[in-house]
Amino acid sequence: MNIALKAPPIPDCNVPAYSPSGQECALFESAWTRQLPLLLKGPTGCGKTRFVAHMAAKLGLPLSTVSCHDDLAAADLTGRYLLKGGDTVWVDGPLTRAVREGGICYLDEIVEARKDVAVVLHPLTDDRRVLPLERTGELLEAPPGFMLVVSYNPGYQNLLKTLKPSTRQRFVAIEFDFLPRDREIAVVSEESGLAESRVAPLVDLAHRLRSLKGHDLEEGVSTRLIVYCASLVDSGVTLRDAVLATMIEPLTDEPDVKAALIEIADAVIRQG
Ligand SMILES: Nc1ncnc2c1ncn2[C@@H]1O[C@H](COP(=O)(O)OP(=O)(O)O)[C@@H](O)[C@H]1O
Ligand SMILES: [Mg+2]
């Protein structure tokens, strides 16, 4: 009997679905090949994280994702000494692990992190590609299989939360935005299971609400929220309740703004 020893090809269903908006997949692959760090800019919920998951799976690379927050310090990425049964042992953080083992380290919403994070990223993002671990005295050289990817949302009004030029200019940068109408309808339908004809008015409503960004709203409705809305509708929630819970409540706590959004939503729902 002939037994095939070749590993079976990875079925496509293991690659998270991603609908590209331009040349970002080819750019990612080239950056990976040339060992260049990548910066993804764009509003929240427009597909940045999905894109990285898609590319990591497509290239067969391990992916370590860190969601940055305002308490996240450099030591949370590099590692620290911890007490274990009376001994102090060094425990690698996710960035150090990725540098030792290779693969993609993805720092999501990097501007949220504390300022000392930039300091550890700098020597990793120029041609040295090293990670100095002051606490252990090690100087780790990143292997060819290591790639740093960071994302941030430049749309926030908070001026304190932008990336310093000295950090930004160390990355190949790709700008993301929401997909064009028809593509967004297709993605939301695919993700939620709701028919495209029923998704269309939700995307149209999202467009109306996005146009208020900067006036009454800090952020517009993300693709993520439209997917939530369509998923609720697909499981039997009424259109108005789903819209209220996913496309209005998450956007504002201001009663006046909320009333105005409901008015817009009701008009779009009536037309749809
Ligand atoms: N281009 C896209 N292709 C496929 N799904 C997408 C795309 N853009 C957004 N989505 C959907 O929106 C959700 C949120 O996207 P995500 O990648 O988490 O946004 P971000 O990281 O930009 O905040 C995803 O889980 C997916 O369902
Ligand atoms: Mg994200």
Ligand 1 pocket (Cβ < 6 Å) reads 17-19, 42, 44-50, 179, 187, 191, 223-224, 227
Highest-pLDDT range among 8-22, 127-141, 181-195: 181-195
Same domain, 73 and 162: yes
| Domain co-membership, 60 together with 168 | yes
Q: Is the pLDDT of residue 210 over 70?
A: yes
* pLDDT reported for residue 212: 83
Average pLDDT, the chain: 90
Predicted pLDDT of residue 71: 93
Q: Is 170 part of a structural domain of the chain?
A: yes
Clarify whether residues 142 and 193 are in a common domain.
Answer: no
Residue 225 alpha carbon to ligand 1 centre in Å: 10
For 221-262, how does the pLDDT look when each residue is reduced to its tens digit (9 = 90+)? 999 999 999 999 999 999 999 999 999 999 999 999 999 999
Question: At residue 214, does pLDDT exceed 90?
Answer: no
- Does 241 reside within a domain? yes
Q: How confident is the model at residue 3 (pLDDT cuts 50, 70, 90)?
A: very low
Give every CB contact of residue 11 below 8 A, 6+ residues apart in sequence.
none
* Closest ligand 1 atom number to CA of residue 42: 22
Asked if the model's pLDDT at residue 46 lies above 60, the reply is yes
Q: Please say if the pLDDT value at position 271 is more than 80.
A: no
Assess if residue 112 is contained within a domain. yes
Q: Taking 80 as the threshold, does the pLDDT of residue 52 lie above it?
A: yes
Structural domain includes residue 28: yes
Answer yes or no: is 4 within a domain. no
Same domain? For 44 and 141 the reply is yes
The verdict on 38 and 164 lying in the same domain is: yes
The per-residue pLDDT for 219 is 80
The answer to whether 185 and 198 are in contact (CB under 8 A) is no
Domain boundary among 143, 175, 207: 175
48 has a pLDDT exceeding 60: yes
Same domain for 164 and 37 = yes
Residue 4 pLDDT grade (very low, low, confident, very high; cuts 50, 70, 90): very low
Number of domains forming the structure of the chain: 2
Query: For residue 159, what pLDDT is reported?
Result: 57
pLDDT tens string 86-117? 899 999 999 999 999 999 999 999 988 998 89
Going from the Cα of 79 to the center of ligand 2, the distance in angstroms, rounded, reads: 23
Supply the residue whose CA is at minimum distance from atom 4 of ligand 1: 18
Query: Of 175, 190, 218, which residue constitutes the final position of a domain?
Result: 175
Q: What percent of the chain has pLDDT over 70?
A: 93
- Whether residue 7 is contained in a domain is answered as no
* One domain, residues 124 and 188: no
- Judgement on whether residues 80 and 192 belong to the same structural domain of the protein: no
Do 209 and 170 share a domain, yes or no? no
Share of the chain above pLDDT 90, in %: 74
What integer pLDDT is reported at residue 1 of this predicted model?
Answer: 44
**DSSP assignment of 108-167:** ETGGGS-THHHHHHGGGSSTT-EEEETTTTEEEEPPTTEEEEEEE-TT-S-TTSS--HHH
Residues 55 and 84 in one domain: yes
The reported pLDDT for the residue numbered 220 is: 85
Identify whether the C-beta of residue 243 lies closer than 8 Å to the C-beta of residue 267: no
Ligand nearest to the CA of 67: 2
Residue 254 belongs to domain spanning: 181-271
pLDDT at 74 over 70: yes
263 CA distance to ligand 1 middle (Å)? 27
Q: Are residues 215 and 122 in the same domain?
A: no
- Domain containing 166 — which CATH number? 3.40.50.300
Helix runs in the chain, H state only: 24-33, 48-59, 74-78, 94-101, 116-121, 165-168, 181-192, 196-210, 223-234, 239-243, 255-271
Q: Are residues 235 and 110 in the same domain?
A: no
**Residue 6 forms part of a structural domain:** no
Last residue of a domain, one of 125, 158, 175: 175
Residue 2, pLDDT > 70, answer no
Are residues 120 and 78 in contact, defined by beta-carbon separation less than 8 angstroms?
yes
Would residue 1 count as lying in a domain?
Answer: no
